Amino acid sequence: MSAAPNQGEIRVIGLGPGPAAWVTPDADAALADATDLIGYIPYVERIPPRAGLTRHATDNRVELDRARHALDLAKAGKIVAIVSGGDPGVFAMAAALFEALDHGSPEDRALRVSIHPGISAMQAAAARLGAPLGHDFCAISLSDNLKPWDVIARRLKAAAEGDFVIAFYNPASKARPQSIFDAFALLKSLKAGSTPVAFARAVGRPDEKIVLTTLAEADPATADMATLVMIGSSETRFIDKPDGGRWLYTPRSYGARP
């Protein structure tokens, strides 16, 4: 895993949704000999301090700054680990790094870069719920920080009309509490009120909370930035469990619902 002497390297690493057991051996190996650690404060704090590792923790919404910092460190000969929660390629730091490379110098592009996948929030939520992603699905970020709301609305409409299971990332924040309400209002005009909905918050962490409901009865205020919201297709259904709980799944065959 080590780079050649005096040759910098960047590794973009997915840490999964939270539990140490969900961090892959590949991610652990990529972190083992890194000289510099870069990431959003909560993700950097998940990595234990050790001798020889310099930590560069930053606040939210500075992804490009992080990526450019990583390039500068790597050009100075450092082995840089950029950490993301979940999978780094899903609304995370891998795209920010490649954006920096796209607009960077030939020297930047000569650096060794590797991406180390992690369990995504969508996968972790699906595992808790049952098998809601058993048929075609899509993921949509409700954040309008980097795209206008009319684009989000157009994609929500297309996903609903295509009858995809939809996973919402970044559903609500203090700066944009209205997005999730607008998304639900739009979907209620396009999908049946009986459509299953799941709010999966902090999956794998001590404060995990799962709420199963329907589109008609869902309270969008349930969601925050730690929540993965899952909207079923017309085929998605609940299965009652003996303990009074329910599984959520989408059959593999379309049109099989009785």
Domain boundaries for CATH 3.40.1010.10 within the chain:
9-119
**How confident is the model over 247-258, as pLDDT tens digits?**
999 999 998 766
Q: What angle do CA 209, 212, 217 make, to 5 degrees?
A: 120
Distances, alpha carbon 52 to alpha carbons 5, 69, 171, in Å: 16, 18, 38
Which residue intervals of the chain bear CATH 3.30.950.10? 122-249
Residue from 232, 48, 13 nearest 119 by CA: 13
pLDDT at residue 3, as a whole number: 54
pLDDT tens digit string along 159-201?
999 999 999 999 998 888 899 999 999 999 999 999 999 999 9
Question: Which DSSP string do the residues of 38-54 spell out, in sequence order?
Answer: EEEHHHHTTSPP-TT-E
pLDDT on residue 177: 86
Q: What percent of the chain has pLDDT over 90?
A: 90
Mean pLDDT, the chain, whole residue set: 94
Mean pLDDT of 63-67: 95
Please state whether beta strands 9-14 and 227-231 pair in parallel, antiparallel, or not at all (unpaired).
Answer: unpaired
Answer yes or no: is pLDDT of 57 > 70: yes
Cα–Cα distance between 76 and 78 in angstroms, integer?
Answer: 6
**pLDDT at position 176:** 87
101-113: average pLDDT: 95
Total length of the chain: 258
Provide the CATH number for the domain formed by 9-119 in this structure: 3.40.1010.10
Domain 122-249 has CATH 3.30.950.10: yes
Residue reference for tokens 């989408």: 250
Which residue carries 């997005």 as its tokens? 179
pLDDT tens digit sequence for 196-210: 999 999 999 999 999
